[in-house]
Structure formats: C-alpha cells, structure tokens
Amino acid sequence: MFESELAILGEGVAFGPGRIDTLGAEVVARAGAPARVLLVADAGVAAAGLTTAAETSLADAGVTVRIFTDVRSDPLAAQIDAAAQAARDLNADLIVGLGGGSAVDVAKMAAGVASGSAPAESYALQCDPFGENVLPIIAVPTTAGTGAEMTQSMVFTAGSGAKLWSDAGNLRPVLALLDPELTVSLPAHLTAATGIDALVHAMESATSHRTKPQTHAPALAAIRLIRRYLPVAVREPTNVEARSAMIIAAALAGRAIDSGGTTIAHALGHALGAVGHVHHGRSVGLSLRVALPGNAEAAPGPHAEVARAFGMEGSSDTDLASALPAAYDAFLREVGLRIDVADSGLTPEDAERLAGEAMKPENAPMRKATLRPIEQPEMLGLARVLLAAT
Ligand SMILES: [Zn+2]
C-alpha cells in the first residue's frame, strides 16, 4: 500500500497499521538497552488512551519511561523548559513525541533545550544555536497534518504571548513512526482542519521562492493523496486506507516544507491563530483561500503544477492556474471546513489588527517567500476578504 509515496519519503520513516507496537524495539535500536525515554504527549491524547500501546511496547522492550503531558496547543516556552528539565532529571537517552504537532514540537525543542542550560525562549528565531549533544527524537503523530515529524522547525508561544519559531537540523526526528490507527478517533472537523494544513504545506512549498528541486516530488504526491483521500477520511473515520493515505500525505508535505518552507498563508494564518484563536489548519486553509487568486495570477507555472496534482485537466498553464482558486474553495467546502470566522468573534472591523499581526517580523520569512510582493496594503486587503468571507 502506497509504496511509491513511501519511497519518496525514504529513510527515517516506519509506516503501518499497528506499527506503534514496534516503538520499544525502535528505541532500543537507536539508544541501546537499557534505555531511558521521556514520552511527551498531549494530555488529551493520553486521556484517550493513545499512549497505552506506546507505554506497553516500551515496557516490553525494557525501556524506562517517564511520561510528560503538560502540553497545550500552541505550546508555551515554559512547558518546553519543564519537559527539558524532566529529560535532564531522568537522564534520558531519547525523547518520544506522541500527539499532534504541539507534542512533537515540545519533544523536539526539549531535546535541544535539555542539551544546554538556557531556556527555550533564548533559542527563538535562531538567536542561539543548539549544542551538538541534543537527544535523538522519535515522533509519533496522532493527527495527519502538521508534518512536524519530518521537519527541523518548531513553533511555540513566548511568555509575552508572541508566537516564536526555532529551527535546527539536529532537531529533525531520527524516526517518524506513522501508525494510521492512532488517527481513527480524530473527529471529522479536526480531520478536515489538520488535513487542510497538510494540503496548504504541500501547495505553499511547491509555489515558494524557497522551492528546491527536492521539494516537488513530496509536495505533489501529498496533493494527489489529499485530494483523493481527505474527503474519505472525513466521511469514514475508521477507513484505514484513507487514514494511511493521509498520515503519509502529511509526512510528505512535512518533507516538502522542510526544503521549500511555507508562504503567505502561514504568515496570515499564524496571525489569525493569534488574534482569533482559530485552529492552525483552518487558519492557514482560509488564508490560502484569499491569497490564492493573486498568487496564481502572479506565478501561473507553479500553480498549474499544483492544479494538475489536484486532479485538474487542461493544457494551458494560465487557464489551470486561474481555475485553481475555485477548485480549492470547493474542496474546503467538500471536507466541511467552516469558511466564515464569526465563531472566532472577529469581524471585518478587525482587519487592521489582523494585518498588523501578520506583518510582524516573526512572519516576515513566510511573507517574503511568496512569489509576489506582499506589503501592508496587500495584507490588509487579504485580511478584509478573509474576515468578510461566507
Ligand atoms: Zn501549517
């Protein structure tokens, strides 16, 4: 199943329904025996029993485990510091991050922070590189979206409330363990939002100033899988073929952003998350929806490639690119993503605030990677359209 897509992912990935049962063996293969592991998991994921199989597999392999579950969505720097301290106290050999992107990001950051004495915030925006002795990380996603299991970057929240990121090659997980059965309990609206996050990763990385030759194969394979299987995963949550396709697609899209990065939808989407507390996947999905017409017009070639992977047909790049925004909008609606943001409490009056947040320096790398210039007036226009959307 999905051999060609798994071949694109290459090494550092273990996939299969029930694969979580091999976690203990994977740890021992990398850390030796007897190993000591900090298991970082979302509290909700632990409460749902999703850590049980991991703990059993680790215990059966003779691994000493301490579990750390103080992880919220958009994790706090203080939580990373606490996880790093737990790793030091345990004298951990390896950190496992099990959960959504937040748990995996905390595991990655904690592995870096634990190797030094400075707090997490001092590593933000690459101010301070991590040392060489970071702990190896195994990532076990329980959503199919963020791709954090494949990347060397992390997003977290400062004590001031600012969203920060950090980036370091030695914090890319040594193994992404992809078990689709861990995602079957995800409710439809989160299946849709996280799947759209993966789609946006794939589309943005393929249409960025930072796009590299190695970006295209994983990005376009992810788009093909998501177009076909996300609606199935939303309709039939226990369909393991669809869940398999989506967990592979999210990893492919993660591999794609690791080389190609993200663009405007992640700049504006992070702002929408900050000011309106809208779920990350929905935020970036709605942001790309308003940015796509201008993006496609400015760069028809790359957008025509995306359109073909999205199943659209036509010989003219310009025609394909100009038809992509409508097809993308229809797909968001097909998977049930809510388009209006009334539930966030935001109105078109908040456009200045939203655009101001999106123009902040921490969002500049993504904004500037877009294949057209986006300065304040354009951002304000996008924010207005987003907040008025129905
Ligand atoms: Zn994202």
Question: What does CATH list as the number for 188-388?
Answer: 1.20.1090.10
pLDDT at 247 over 80: yes
Report how far ligand 1's centroid is from the alpha carbon of 283 (Å). 9
pLDDT at 58 over 90: yes
pLDDT score, position 124: 87
Report how far ligand 1's centroid is from the alpha carbon of 145 (Å). 8
Question: What does CATH list as the number for 19-178?
Answer: 3.40.50.1970
Where along the chain do its domains lie? 19-178, 188-388
**Confidence bin at 73 (pLDDT 50/70/90):** confident
For the stretch 172-227, pLDDT in tens is: 999 999 999 999 999 999 999 999 999 999 999 999 999 999 999 999 999 999 99
- In the three-class reduction of DSSP (H, G, I as helix; E, B as strand; rest coil), residue 42 is classed as coil
**Confidence bin at 162 (pLDDT 50/70/90):** confident
pLDDT score, position 132: 80
Report how far ligand 1's centroid is from the alpha carbon of 59 (Å). 34
Report how far ligand 1's centroid is from the alpha carbon of 281 (Å). 6
How do 153-157 and 163-167 pair as beta strands?
antiparallel
pLDDT at 128 over 70: no
Report how far ligand 1's centroid is from the alpha carbon of 201 (Å). 6
**Residue 104 to residue 266: CA distance in whole angstroms:** 19
Report how far ligand 1's centroid is from the alpha carbon of 317 (Å). 27
Report how far ligand 1's centroid is from the alpha carbon of 164 (Å). 14
- The stretch 251-273 carries a mean pLDDT of 96
Task: Give Cα separations from 66 to 93, 151, 216, 247, 311 (angstroms).
Answer: 12, 25, 39, 26, 46
Report how far ligand 1's centroid is from the alpha carbon of 60 (Å). 35
Report how far ligand 1's centroid is from the alpha carbon of 11 (Å). 23
DSSP annotation of 134 reads: P
Report how far ligand 1's centroid is from the alpha carbon of 315 (Å). 31
Report how far ligand 1's centroid is from the alpha carbon of 208 (Å). 15
Report how far ligand 1's centroid is from the alpha carbon of 214 (Å). 19
Report how far ligand 1's centroid is from the alpha carbon of 17 (Å). 25
Sign of CA dihedral 143, 147, 149, 152: negative
Q: According to DSSP H, which parts of the chain are helical?
A: 3-9, 23-31, 43-47, 52-60, 77-90, 101-113, 188-205, 213-235, 240-260, 264-276, 280-298, 300-309, 317-334, 351-358, 364-368, 376-388
Hunting for tokens 């595991």 — which residue is that? 107
**Mean pLDDT across the chain, nearest whole number?**
95
Report how far ligand 1's centroid is from the alpha carbon of 316 (Å). 30
Report how far ligand 1's centroid is from the alpha carbon of 257 (Å). 9
pLDDT score, position 167: 87
Report how far ligand 1's centroid is from the alpha carbon of 284 (Å). 7
Report how far ligand 1's centroid is from the alpha carbon of 36 (Å). 31
For the stretch 94-124, pLDDT in tens is: 999 999 999 999 999 999 999 988 999 998 8
pLDDT at 150 over 80: yes
pLDDT score, position 127: 60
**Residue 150 to residue 129: CA distance in whole angstroms:** 20
Report how far ligand 1's centroid is from the alpha carbon of 230 (Å). 16
- The stretch 269-298 carries a mean pLDDT of 96
Report how far ligand 1's centroid is from the alpha carbon of 280 (Å). 6
**Is pTM beyond 0.85 here?**
yes
